Amino acid sequence: MTQKTAQEKQQAFHDLHKEGCFIMPNAWDAGSAVILQDAGFKATASTSSGFAWTRALPDHKITLDLVLEHLAILCSATDIPVSADFENAYAETVEGVHTSVSRAVETGLAGISIEDSNSLPGTGLYDFDNAVNRVKAARAAIDQSGQATLLTARTEEFLVGDSNLDETINRLKAFADAGADCLFSPGVQDEKQIATIVEAVAPVPVNVLTFGLSYDSLKNLGVRRISVGGALTHHAYKALKQAADDIFERGEFDSSKPDRRSGIALNKLFSS
């Protein structure tokens, strides 16, 4: 379906980060990626949780090989840039980060995001020096690949750390110095804290995972990129669960009533 080259999509993704603010919703499969492109979005990202759910697995329980296959499918499905939610690069060592990121950029990604937590319950963040070295390894892998994949480095301080703003900023600044092109601290919801982060790390662009704040609000705070994580997948599966419950428990079919026009529209979209 896609006609643009990986290099063209990488350049388009870099251009989006130069000024203004854009929304990068997260797709969980090829179909959702195509729908997001058709809606007019200029870029999309994968979602680790959303993809795991499509495999009937909980978040953080997916394997690297499955993720790489998934990312290649997303990249080939659309002409808009795809950025990977690459968790901790599916590697515990710095050397492993380099290897995993090297493999990931081969899928045609326009961007890739790595985080400073291994996502296992109770483990918290990687120590500061290790976290920085992991970003350096990802940067080296991209540079050595000859690709222009945009590197986002994220700290989980507000998710699995101590919600310490000073430590968040300290880590983000260090990640920028280590070669990150974009910075991300999921879990930050307070507008004043978001504004403080944007100002502290400027001119490096900042991504925010929105928890209900509007596009205009985040744009006015100086946010460059907005993502939604697994929210769209959650809504899709919630609708499926509701329809299934209506059928099984109440024998009602209103929420699953076939929509022929919608089916025709989807067939047309996916055949284009």
At residue 255, the 3 state secondary structure works out as helix
Residues 120 and 30 in one domain: yes
**Tokens encoding 156:** 């989980």
Question: What pLDDT band is residue 267 in, cutting at 50, 70 and 90?
Answer: confident
Residues 122 and 236 in one domain: no
Residues 199 and 247 in one domain: no
Burial category of 213 from C-beta neighbours within 10 Å (exposed 0-12, middle 13-18, buried 19 and up): middle
Give me the pLDDT at residue 124, please: 86
Whether 93 maps to a domain, the answer reads yes
Give me the pLDDT at residue 225, please: 98
How many structural domains compose the chain?
Answer: 2
pLDDT at 1 over 60: no
Whether 170 maps to a domain, the answer reads yes
Residues 144 and 207 in one domain: yes
Q: What is the domain range of residue 154?
A: 6-229
Residues 244 and 220 in one domain: no
Residues 51 and 175 in one domain: yes
Average pLDDT over residues 213-224: 96
Give me the pLDDT at residue 270, please: 87
How large is the C-alpha radius of gyration of the chain? 19
Residues 184 and 144 in one domain: yes
Q: How far apart are CA 3 and CA 11, in angstroms?
A: 15
Whether 88 maps to a domain, the answer reads yes
Instruction: Out of 94-98, 179-183, 191-195, 208-212, pick the least confident.
Output: 208-212
pLDDT at 120 over 70: no
pLDDT at 49 over 80: yes
DSSP annotation of 127 reads: P
Whether 202 maps to a domain, the answer reads yes
Residues 239 and 213 in one domain: no
Q: DSSP of 28-66, one letter per residue? A: SSHHHHHHHHHHT-S-EEE-HHHHHHHTT--TT---HHH
Residues 91 and 165 in one domain: yes
Residues 115 and 204 in one domain: yes
Question: What pLDDT band is residue 60 in, cutting at 50, 70 and 90?
Answer: confident
pLDDT at 121 over 70: no
Residues 27 and 49 in one domain: yes
Q: What would the pLDDT profile of 61-115 be if each residue is shown by its tens digit?
A: 899 999 999 999 999 999 999 999 999 999 999 999 999 999 999 999 999 999 9
Whether 203 maps to a domain, the answer reads yes
pLDDT at 40 over 90: yes
Whether 1 maps to a domain, the answer reads no
- Which residues are CB-contacts of 50 (< 8 A; sequence separation ≥ 6)? 26, 27, 28, 230, 232, 233, 234
Residues 220 and 163 in one domain: yes
Averaged pLDDT of the chain:
93
Whether 29 maps to a domain, the answer reads yes
Given 229, 246, 264, the domain boundary residue is: 229
Percentage of residues in the chain having pLDDT higher than 70: 96
Average pLDDT over residues 218-230: 96
Whether 35 maps to a domain, the answer reads yes
Find tokens 């809504």 and name the residue: 235
Q: How many helices (H) and strands (E) does the chain have?
A: 11, 9
